[in-house]
Amino acid sequence: MNKYKIISLVKILQKKGKKEFSELTVFNVFRLVKKTNLLCPFMFFVESLNKAKPHVEIRLIKISGTNYKVPVEINSKRQKNLVLKWFVVNAFKNEDFRIELNLMKEILNTYNLTSNTIKQLNDIHKIAELNRIYMQYRY
CA–CA separation, 95 vs 102, rounded Å?
8
Asked if pLDDT for residue 4 goes beyond 90, the answer is no
Give per-residue pLDDT as tens, 63-120. Answer: 888 888 899 999 999 999 999 999 999 998 887 778 889 999 999 999 999 999 999 9
The number of beta carbons lying within 10 Å of the beta carbon of residue 70 is 22
CATH (residue range 3-137): 1.10.455.10
Burial category of 116 from C-beta neighbours within 10 Å (exposed 0-12, middle 13-18, buried 19 and up): middle
Q: Under a CB-based contact definition with an 8 Å cutoff, are residues 106 and 48 in contact?
A: no
The residue type found at 47 is E
User: Which of 99, 76, 110 is closest to 14 using CA atoms?
Assistant: 99
| pTM of the entire predicted model | 0.86
Instruction: Return all residues near 60 (Cβ < 8 A) that are at least 6 apart.
Output: 67, 68, 69, 70
Using alpha carbons, select from 4, 16, 36, 19 the residue that is nearest to residue 103. 36
Does 38 score more than 80 pLDDT?
no
